[in-house]
Chains A and B, each alone.
Chain A
């Protein structure tokens, strides 16, 4: 059963040059208990998609289309949305220091949504919150519930944010770059924790990141976004097996590999003299610079006249895997 179905989700805003689409016709589904990775560079709209689903868009932006989560979330009045937010859908934010309240002890911050959503008394909520904090690796013996966020390290703060997100046992957790502010070893712990909780509680996870490695290791399904559109989507292992969209391929090739050396011929067969990374020329267009054709066309090596004038539809690559491109790559070389 699909827990979340997003149909033709667009987000518009006014700009000096007229109305522009920040997000353009997003379509995707997420089953309960599954995880979906959303990858893209900064400014591609991946965080906006999360905000649109949560109904947290800035005032000057309007969303259209459908976000089906039982009901269409886009049509719900604010009062109804408040009952869902933090209760049935919750969010893990990127920067734990700004996501937490600096003047409230962590125990209360976790308990707060229980008091709000589950009608528990303050005392009951605190007890429940303490259990959840144990779960995320902050045992009461070592971490008093009356500690304040500034007394914790970055990784510990992120654990508190995770505790807040899962305390009401939501059906869907949206994690927006949960580990970008953390070191690699802490990142590993936090991602392992999120995956573990999601599986144990049978929650669905939408993991937003710019790191292809994080998506590969932690998700079942994935979307690649570029300039407000989905350019490639499908089951994670199928997408990595066969990178079809030129953008995904470029993104993949521009990461230096820890396992293979720069001298490894198999990775850069066209450039055996090592040292150079393959790059995507140019830069991501600003949202007011987007053209009516494929927004990747002017950086793409495979682009033809058609790409500049028409918007490509989803091309089926294999079962469940599609790319929005007229000339997708056939198979991995």
Chain B
């Protein structure tokens, strides 16, 4: 198996497909299916952080849920620490789950208001039924200190904390089982800018201290750039471009990635928007396509070919393809487009 070849790989996702069945429109017509994930593959090493970017509805959160085995895929597999998750028995799966934890977007919705901080943070341990109550309390105190709260906060309730502190509690809860992977689904988008930076710094520090790997999902490109070493851009359930963060951001090849990067407002008044953009023709985010590239109807460089067959994710140059054959864990810059933009021509 592949994971034996490379002991460094923590998470390997292969050709993941997840479909949802839409409500039936007519009793004699089979219901339509919506492909939230359409053949997504990626791999993540121990201690690494991998960013997933894309607009709402592109399948980022479905990916997160499938990785954590909260959803089962129609085809494809998720390998975590060498085991295929969706074939495990419930009992074994539960044991695997201690290695992966999640931080949710909304720190107000993800903490039970009737539970004390100590109950919230120790809940994963309680469910694992492995340690005594006394050890649990000790570990709670340790986890709270780890995230910059005081052990005395354990007896307080979530409403006594601000948004940033609540997100710290959520992080403490994720840390307590000593996971090797944390899936963070938009962990700071509900926080104010000045608090956001504190939480991001904390996440970076914890990564160094505990050797955590992050699957970092966000729509905010600047945060992803700051936090991750590798990144994948998703559009309509597919990865359209992936590679090392620096390379991808500096030499974006896919027209969609380019559009995303250009759309981010920057604190620079000389970059006035007026007149830069014409009234956009396409207001539909993910138009239905028959076979072709999902981005074709929004793409400025669309060709006949794009509408017929969807491009596959290919390495940008052949030399790096050779390297990647030697070392499957190394991430190379790949793009799913027939006409990748030339990085030399770009500004």
**Chain A residues packing against B (C-beta within 8 Å):** 41-42, 137-138, 153-156, 159, 183-189, 191-193, 195-196, 199, 210-218, 236-237, 240, 250-252, 254-259, 261-262, 275-280, 283-284
Contacts and interface: CB of A to CB of B under 8 A. Distances in A.
11 contacts: A183-B56, A195-B274, A196-B279, A199-B274, A213-B267, A216-B268, A217-B265, A217-B272, A217-B273, A255-B267, A277-B197
Contacts of B262: 188
Contacts of B279: 137, 189, 192-193, 196
Q: Which 8 A-B pairs have the closest CB atoms?
A: A213-B265, A256-B226, A254-B197, A183-B55, A41-B192, A188-B263, A277-B197, A280-B194
Contacts, number: 148
A218 B219 contact: no
Given A155-B283, A183-B55, A279-B197, A217 B269 contact: yes
A188 B198 CA distance: 28
Interface in B221-250: 221-223, 225-227, 246, 249
A316 B246 CA distance: 41
B266 interface: yes
A254 B192 CA distance: 10
B267 A258 contact: no
Contact of B193 (A155, A184, A192, A210): A210
Question: Size range of the interface on B?
Answer: 35 or more
Binding site of A, secondary structure by majority: helix, strand, loop or mixed?
helix
B266 A217 contact: yes
Contact of A261 (B193, B198, B225): B225
A153 B284 contact: yes
B285 A251 contact: no
A216 B201 contact: no
A252 B193 CA distance: 9
Contacts of A258: 221-222, 225, 249, 261, 264, 266
Nearest to B199: A279
B204 interface: yes
A156 B266 CA distance: 24
B222 A210 contact: no
A187 B222 contact: no
